[in-house]
Structure formats: C-alpha cells, structure tokens
Chains A and B, each alone.
Chain A
C-alpha cells in the first residue's frame, strides 16, 4: 500500500524578521550571481502551509556538516503603481497624470526560487508575499508598453513587511521607429519590446501598425530593442542596443530583409517500423538567415500521418524533432538549407531512432551493489526529458533511453553514499556506475526555532544544477552526502 504524503508549496504571511548576521540572516549569505555559490532550496510540505518555498545562499565559510537554516513565513510587500495612461482603468480623468496602472509586479531573488508576482488591482494597488531576504530584483511591467515605461530596481531588501507607498512610473521618454522589409514595405503586427541590459527585465510588447511604425516609452537607461514576428510568423528576430536619455526621443528602425518564404515539409517515421509518428514537435532554429542578421525559431507538430509543413525564410536551419515523453522513439536533429530561389524543400522521410534499453548496476567503491537508489537520466539538449527508476536489491536498473549521451544522477538511500552524477552514452556503454562516498551534509531546517518536518531540501548551484535532494524528518533534520564541491 502506498501513502502519498505531501506536496506543493502554499502561500502565507508573517510579519517577522530575524535578528541575525552573516549567513544567519534571512535567505542566507549575500547573493552574488557572478560567483559559483551553492544554494539550499527548501520547499515546505502541506504540514507547514504558512511557509513558502525559498532559497538559502551558502557562503565560503558554510559548515556543511552542521547546517542550521531558519526559514520564515513570507512578508507582505505592498504599494500602489501610478503613471500616465490615456486609457486608464479606474480613473475619472483619462490622460491625467498619477492614474492607476495595470501592471505585473514581481519580486525575484535572481538565481533562487524565492519570489512572487502579482497583477495590480484596479486602483493600482498590489500586495505580494515573499520570503524575507536581501537582494531582490523588483520589476514593475505595465501591460501598456506604448504609453508607460517599466521600472526595475535591484538589490532590494525585504526582511520585514514593507509598504512601498505610491510608485510613479511617470511618462518616460519616447522610443519609436519602423519595421519594414527590404523593399521598404511595412511589416504589420510585428512585436517590439524592450529588454533592460542590466537586469534582463523585459517590457510588454507593442505591435507595429499598418505603416509598420511603433512607439514605446522608456525611462533613461540602456536597452536592447527587440523586434520579431508573432508566434508562428516567419519574421526574424532582430535586436539593437539603444541609450534612452532624458528629454530626447530615441529612434530604432528595423529592416527585416526579404520576407519571402518557402514551404519546408516532410514526414516523420519510426526508423524500425516505418510507421508515421504523430504529435512530434519540430523546432526549427535558424543558424543563419540569407538576407538579414537575425534569428528565427518556429515550432510545429506532425499530424496523424506524421506530416509537417512550415514556411521558412531562406538560410541555414536546424530542426529538432522531439517526440512525446512516453514515445518509444528518441529525439533527433537534422540540418538543412533553404535556398533563396527554392519554391519548396522536401525533407523526405525523417526517421526517429528507437529508444534503447540501457541496463547498468550501481556499486560502491567496494563493488557492493547499491540497492534502492533513485536513478534519473536526463537527455542532453532537446527538451531535457528525465527518465527515472530505482535500483533493485542487486543494484541493477534499466531505462529506455535515446542512443545519445545522457546525464545520469544516482541518489542512494541512507547516509553512507553520495548523490553521484555521471555522463553515459547508452549506445556505447553499460558497465557499472560507481557511487562515490562524497562529502557529508547534515543540518536542520527550522522556522523561528521549531523544526520544519517533511520539507523537500535540494542543493543546487546558482545555475540551478541539482546536486542532492533530501527530506527533513519530523523534527526538521536531514542528512545526505554529495560529491565534492
């Protein structure tokens, strides 16, 4: 009989903060996304619904054999967003300054799982709840990018409940231009948006009009202007960097080049049976486009006969063919060129290879089998599908994998062996997986001194690579071993 215990982080608030220093501060050490910090992600279970998922950042001095991580309930961050809008909601005087703004407000602690986002109410007010920590990035993205600039603030500390008061986005400066093809004809309904060069925050897109013109507003700063077609359109993605300065109108025009397309078609079949495969996702990515220095990515799916047909711009392309997760065939990739003079390109029958049975055994450094270990094989590239199983009493396991290298993570039970990561090529190797002893990690997750039981604990680096996973016991204690770091 199986008992399912816990799941899914909830949302709650508590207006408290710790008196703490260094890594004992809420959220751990200072966040430095440019360094190779490790983080401990804590995802509380349903037994502690007042606690949200959050990350704790380790420092160079962290004692991994005796971690003490005190997490807190989220704090309330509130405020009201105003700005100029010619068509405000909830305002009595259209066009007036200081009218409520419909916007998405997000607080993200970059490189962690701490954060939240919310849409403002009709009066421009917002309230969201985030785990208390330092180093949040706050972005306020108005849904109307044509008349309002967006706002990004870095290094924001929210260790206690905070009322930010009224945040006025103002009117910003105009940034405008045209989106045309190589003949000067307007490209209608192209999407144009801004990306903040410092934080990567992106504003809401606007559409080019019938004359191919667009206008955005931005606060002074450095941005990347991105112009691209809507989803599925064969219009390239072009970018240019601009500096917006006060009281100056900035112009950024885009020449999308020759937008003449050629149909690219074919049929996806099972390499072994020759049968057509439906619902294969085909992701076309340009390597280079003939007429413009831009990129284009377009997706489509095969129909019931395994047929696909998509119009693409001339240039060099790669198509990734990704079957459904539970398919018996593996993903594959093909490269091809669409000629500028072609009226169409028939890729013919594209064969997907079968997944292969990969059998191996997990052993320790005394060649003893490691039973009951969780095994996760992650495909490299494509959609990064993960295939999981558990080793049997003899340490053996079997997985259906693509005939290309995968990243294998073996997580042994108990506290004697480390979560071990290796790369294997299922097509060429079997052998055994040596589970190392690694380094002991032990600690306790608490909240205001009380143990947080049945919380999922994950240790990752700032890029998100998973090193190890554990569950806390009813008193909040956990232990595991992980490879040297």
Chain B
C-alpha cells in the first residue's frame, strides 16, 4: 500500500491524483481522502509478481495546473 498526503496553500483547490506503473499504465484502484487541512490518495496493489521492480508514480495536479510527483520502486516478495 502507498499513499500521499497533499497540502495546498490555495485553500479549496480541487486535486486530481494519477497513479501509474511503468509498463502497466494508469491504475484504477486509488481512493481519495480528505482529513482536516490535508487531502490525499491511497492505493493498494495485490501481491503479484508482475509488479516487481516496476516504478509506481503518483502525480498530483491542482486546478491551476501545478503538479508534484512521487515515485517508489515496487518490491514483491518471491513466492508471493
């Protein structure tokens, strides 16, 4: 499971989150959340060897077109 939390100085901005995995494209299992002054998105992926070694990227866009990005390399335990 991975998640991001976003703080935006421009209160009330609508955020869009795009989760992608290299070679597999956009992922459709992420859930957005809001908590106090923060908002974010989380994603849970199955323990499938197909994900091993691939890069998971979350890109966050605000309504003004600004964006930020975070990446992780996925490790799936052998035998999963």
Which positions in A face B, CB cutoff 8 Å? 1-9, 43, 45, 53, 103-104, 113, 117-119, 141, 143, 324-326, 371-376, 383-390, 392-393, 409, 411-414, 454, 456, 458, 466, 469-471, 473, 478, 480
Q: Is the CB of B34 within 8 A of A411?
A: yes
Q: Which 10 pairs between the two chains have the least Cβ-Cβ distance?
A: A104-B79, A385-B28, A325-B28, A469-B33, A471-B35, A374-B32, A388-B32, A2-B68, A5-B5, A413-B34
Partner of B2 from the list A5, A8, A373, A387 (CB cut-off 8 Å) is: A8
- A392-B14, A471-B35 are contacts. A6–B1 as well, Cβ < 8 Å? no
Q: Is the CB of B36 within 8 A of A471?
A: yes
Which positions in B face A, CB cutoff 8 Å? 1-9, 12, 14-17, 25-36, 38-42, 47, 58, 60, 62, 66-70, 72, 77-80
Q: How far is A422 from B5 in the complex, measured between Cα atoms in Å?
A: 25
Q: How far is A257 from B38 in the complex, measured between Cα atoms in Å?
A: 58
Give the residues in chain B near A3, CB-CB below 8 Å: 6-8, 68
CB nearest neighbor in B for A471: B35
Q: How far is A413 from B8 in the complex, measured between Cα atoms in Å?
A: 14
Q: List 18 A-B contacts (CB under 8 A).
A: A2-B7, A3-B6, A4-B58, A7-B58, A8-B1, A8-B72, A43-B42, A104-B78, A119-B78, A374-B33, A385-B28, A386-B29, A390-B14, A392-B14, A411-B33, A456-B40, A456-B42, A478-B35
Q: Is the CB of B32 within 8 A of A411?
A: yes
Q: How far is A203 from B66 in the complex, measured between Cα atoms in Å?
A: 49
Q: What is the minimal beta-carbon distance from A26 to any residue of chain B, in angstroms?
A: 20
Q: Name, among A118, A386, A470, the residue most crowded by chain B CB atoms within 10 Å (CB to CB).
A: A386
Q: How far is A104 from B76 in the complex, measured between Cα atoms in Å?
A: 12
Q: Name, among A104, A113, A469, A480, the residue most crowded by chain B CB atoms within 10 Å (CB to CB).
A: A469
Partner of B36 from the list A326, A371, A390, A414 (CB cut-off 8 Å) is: A414
Give the residues in chain B near A104, CB-CB below 8 Å: 77-80
CB nearest neighbor in B for A41: B1
Q: How far is A120 from B5 in the complex, measured between Cα atoms in Å?
A: 36
Q: Is the CB of B77 within 8 A of A118?
A: yes
Q: How far is A480 from B67 in the complex, measured between Cα atoms in Å?
A: 28
Q: Is the CB of B5 within 8 A of A45?
A: yes
Q: Is the CB of A473 within 8 A of B32?
A: no
Partner of A388 from the list B9, B12, B17, B79 (CB cut-off 8 Å) is: B17
Q: Is the CB of B29 within 8 A of A384?
A: yes
Q: Is the CB of B12 within 8 A of A5?
A: no
Q: What is the minimal beta-carbon distance from A393 to any residue of chain B, in angstroms?
A: 6
Give the residues in chain B near A466, CB-CB below 8 Å: 31
Q: What is the minimal beta-carbon distance from B17 to any residue of chain A, in angstroms?
A: 7
Give the residues in chain A near B66, CB-CB below 8 Å: 1-2
Q: What is the minimal beta-carbon distance from B39 to any residue of chain A, in angstroms?
A: 6
Partner of A5 from the list B1, B6, B14 (CB cut-off 8 Å) is: B6
8 more contacts with CB within 8 A, not counting A104-B80, A390-B15, are A2-B68, A5-B5, A6-B3, A326-B25, A376-B31, A389-B16, A456-B3, A478-B35
Q: Is the CB of B34 within 8 A of A1?
A: no
Q: How far is A303 from B6 in the complex, measured between Cα atoms in Å?
A: 38
Q: Name, among B4, B7, B17, the residue most crowded by chain A CB atoms within 10 Å (CB to CB).
A: B4
Q: Is the CB of B3 within 8 A of A7?
A: yes
Give the residues in chain B near A9, CB-CB below 8 Å: 1
Q: Is the CB of A43 within 8 A of B77?
A: no
Q: Is the CB of A43 within 8 A of B3?
A: yes
Q: Is the CB of A390 within 8 A of B32?
A: yes
Q: How far is A195 from B64 in the complex, measured between Cα atoms in Å?
A: 53
Q: Is the CB of B68 within 8 A of A113?
A: no
- A2-B62, A413-B34 are contacts. A469–B42 as well, Cβ < 8 Å? yes
- A1-B66, A104-B77 are contacts. A412–B34 as well, Cβ < 8 Å? yes
Q: How far is A2 from B38 in the complex, measured between Cα atoms in Å?
A: 11
Q: How far is A34 from B35 in the complex, measured between Cα atoms in Å?
A: 32
Q: What is the minimal beta-carbon distance from A305 to any residue of chain B, in angstroms?
A: 20
- A389-B16, A390-B34 are contacts. A6–B7 as well, Cβ < 8 Å? no
